[in-house]
Each structure stands twice: as structure tokens, then as C-alpha cells.
Amino acid sequence: MLGLSRDEAAVPELMAEVCRIALDFLADTRDAKVVNTQIHNRATQSEMPEHGIGSLAALATYWESYGASHSRSTGPRYFGFVTGGTTPAALAGDWLVSVLDQNVATERHSVAAFIEAQTLSFLTDLLRLPSGAFHGVLTTGATAANLVGLATAREWCGEQNNVSISQDGIQAALPVMVFCASPHSSIVKDLGLLGIGQRNFIKVDCLPDREVFDLDALEQSLATCTSPCRIVVASAGTVNSGDFDDLVSLATLCKKYGAWLHVDAAFGAFARCSSQYAHLVEGLELADSITADAHKWLNVPYDCGIAFTRHVTLHERAFSADAPYVPLEGQLPAYMNRGVEQSRRYRALPLWMTLMAYGKAGYRELIERHCGYAQRIASWVDESSCFKLLCEVRLNLLVFRYFKDGCSPNTLAELNRQVLSNLNSSGELYITPTTYKGEYALRLSISNWMTQEEDINRVTAALQRAAD
């Protein structure tokens, strides 16, 4: 039996063992199976032990029982969802976060709140947002960041009725009308959490063969809307196909009809790092609120999202919950009053570390390299006799499918499921399925800092083998 007081002496040996395990895991990242689809049986223990076994034994038990059951989502050929890895600088920062164990609720005698403020300033610079125009907070991810943006928008809607929804409740305001074309599922989830309702958004028509607003259809919807409480949710990089709304035109419509413009730019925001791709996100600076994800293309560890808004007073009013035992003196924001969490992890440090380590030039190179790789795979698919692209590749994401002449839609769907299974079970790469225009399809997104030319060659070779 080992107690906490005794275990303190084991810290040096424990850290050395963790470091050994971590370095072994990282050393194998490039060549290990991306996912092990054969793992089914795992050791289970339903009851917590009465007497502890100590940290060294607990670590050994975990790694022996479960070490082989992790995906290599940290590696260069994990192309599912939009998944970044962890840069060396971000990894070092994240280890320090646990050692330092800071609660970034307010300033409270720690530099942590200052680092968050500085990191947010770095991000506005990286995203080429007007200096001083946007204020924000780091969150657990885009779901929470969208919640922050929409809660601030909801507070703005209350102002149109001379009420504070955060104080008086949503029933005190006129109906909040939300207009979406291809919203991420987190938007729908957040509408439920905010009391607006998951079914109560207006689905506006998309342009033909696109996932973006038909601007004429949106204008008609806004013009006939009887409530002054209007929120337009735009996409800067739809998660399904990587499509981009026309943000400049949307901002013009929102100004004309008195609507709040929220832009979900979870990964697409970072197109602004590169002059080659910044045109896709032109007008982001005109938004009322913006969501981005640092644990996607910035390659920091899970979890880290980013919420920005022009309306900091409304933002803080929507989330403030001051208490007499929480001192709020100081020059910096009380970040507990800018999001859901009162107690907050020091998630700014890994982000600060990676932004400082690689700078704007480093991320510009990363974005352009990944987009170039996506175009290379797209060209291979175009020239292939057995695959076809389903939509334009605009950034780092492509949607495609296996095809065979003379097959029914159901047969083609089943063939694509088999191709996906062959690809993922090979261990060479991991991609995810989607549905595009009613068709079962394959989806590949490149966002890991480790991905190199060699990995792209392995991808095309694996695609060919899976189709044979």
C-alpha cells in the first residue's frame, strides 16, 4: 500500500519513466499503424481499488494494459476529421501546464492571464484582424467557442428589445431567428443549450453544388423576418467539404437588415496566414463574432478553441458571475467572465509556445504545404481510373469516392465502404466517411505538422491498392 505522502518521493523516477514512454511512442509515430482496427478486447476493472498501488505501478499497469490501444492521431497520415498533431514547442508547453497547474480564472498573482491575453493578441495578428477591434477567450474547442459567440449574439438580440437575456431570460425577448446554410453540428447543439432550440434555425438554400449561402435566398429570408433578433451563421471552411461563404456579401446583408454575423472558421480562419489562400476568408474582419480551433491547424494538444468578438461588453455580460470571494482587481480581463468555465486550464501556454517558436512564417509555410499536398492528391484522383472528386478542393480537404461503371448507387456505396475499410485496416492511413449530395463518400483532410512528401506518396499508393 502506498499513500500520497510516500509517493512524493517517487516523482523523479515517475517523470523519467513517463519521459521514456513518451519518447518511445513519438519515435515510432511515423511508421506505426495509424489505427489498429483489430483491437477489441481490453482489460477491464469495474471497481476502484481500496488501497492504491502507487504512481509507478499505476503507470506500468496503464501502459501494459492499454498502451497499444491508442491511435496515432499525432502522426503524419491521420487524415480523419480535421486533426492536427502537437508541435514540439506545444508539447513542451503542455507538459509545463500540468507542472505549473495554474487556474486562469482571473489575474490572481499569476502570469497565466497575461500569457492568455498576449496569445490572443498574437492570434489577431496571425489572422490579420484589425488591431484592438476583437477581444476574446480560449475555450475547450470550437463547440464552446461557437457557444461563446452565439451567447454574445443572443445578448445583442436582447438589446434590440431593451432587455438583457442573460439577466431576464430568453422569454423576455422577441424570438431569436438564426439563419444557417450548412451549419456544423456544434452550432445546432449550441442553439439547444442557449434555449433557442435545435429545430428553430432557418435553413437557407445553398448555391447549386455548394455548401454555402445562396445570397438571394438569404436576403429574401432576412427581408421577410418579422423579429429584430437576427443571427446569420456563416462557414469559413465547412467541415464536410471545405467550402467558404462569401463573407463580404454576408456582412453587407447583415448590415442592411440588422443581423449579427457569426463566422464558424474552425480551421478555415488560418487560410489568412497565406496570401495564396487569404481570399477564401476575405471579410472575416467584418464579423461580429468568430470561432477558430487551435487544436486543428495550429497543432496544439487537445483541447484549445478560440472565440473572438467585437462586442466585449456584451460578451462579458453574457458570462459574468462575479462572487465576493473572487477578486477582480487588475488590468487584465477576468477570463472566467468570458466563457462557461470558472476554473480554467492554462491552455494558453502550449499555444503561446508554438506561436513564439515558429512565428507567422512557420505557419504560412505549414498552411501552404498542406494545401499543396491536398492538390497533389486531388490531381492523382482526377487522373485515376477508379476514383473521382466530388467537389472542388479549395484548401486542405478533399471529398472523393471510388466508382465503377455499371454499378447501382447501393452497390457503389457498399464498394466505397469496403475501400474505406481496406484503407483504414491497412494501417497506412486513416480517413473518415461522409455523405455528399446524398452519396456515400471518402473524406481526407491534411492538417498535421509532420506530414511530408513521402506520406503523400504512401497515400496514393494505398489508395491504388485499396481499389485493386
Q: Are strands 289-293 and 305-309 parallel, antiparallel or unpaired?
A: antiparallel
Domains of the chain are 1-39+52-58 (no CATH), 92-355 (3.40.640.10), 361-467 (3.90.1150.10)
pLDDT at 104: 94
pLDDT at 1: 46
Confidence (pTM): 0.96
CA distance 275 to 277: 6
Question: Which cell numbers in the block locate residue 202?
Answer: 432557418
SS (H, E, C) the chain: CCCHHHHHHHHHHHHHHHHHHHHHHHHCCCCCCCCCCCCCCCCCCCCCCCCCCCHHHHHHHHHHHHHHHCCCCCCCCECCCCCCCCCHHHHHHHHHHHHHCCCCCCCCCCCHHHHHHHHHHHHHHHCCCCCCCCEEEEECCHHHHHHHHHHHHHHHHHHCCCCCHHHHCHHHCCCCEEEECCCCHHHHHHHHHCCCCCCCEEECCECCCCCCECHHHHHHHHHCCCCCCEEEEEEECCCCCCCECCHHHHHHHHHHHCCEEEEECCCHHHHHHCCCCHHHHCCHHHCCEEEEECCCCCCCCCCCEEEEECCHHHHHHHHCCCCCCCCCCCCCCCHHHHCCCCCCCCCHHHHHHHHHHHHHHHHHHHHHHHHHHHHHHHHHHHHCCCEEECCCCCCCEEEEEECCCCCCHHHHHHHHHHHHHHHHHHCCCECEEEEECCEEEEEEECCCCCCCHHHHHHHHHHHHHHHC
pLDDT at 214: 99
Residues forming a β-bridge with 236 = 244
pLDDT at 2: 57
Per-residue pLDDT of the chain (468 residues; tens, 9 = 90+): 457 888 888 999 999 999 999 999 999 999 999 998 766 666 677 899 999 999 999 999 999 999 999 999 999 999 999 999 999 999 999 999 999 999 999 887 799 999 999 999 999 999 999 999 999 999 999 999 999 999 999 999 999 989 999 999 999 988 999 999 999 999 999 999 999 998 889 999 999 999 999 999 999 999 999 999 999 999 999 999 999 999 999 999 999 999 999 999 999 999 999 999 999 999 999 999 999 999 999 999 999 999 999 999 999 999 998 765 566 667 899 999 999 999 999 999 999 999 999 999 999 999 999 999 999 999 999 999 999 999 999 999 999 999 999 999 999 999 999 999 999 999 999 999 999 999 999 999 999 999 999 999 999 999 999 988
CA distance 246 to 218: 12
Going by C-beta distance under 8 Å and a sequence separation of 6 or more, which residues neighbour residue 142?
A: 184, 186, 264, 266, 291, 292, 293, 305
pLDDT at 3: 73
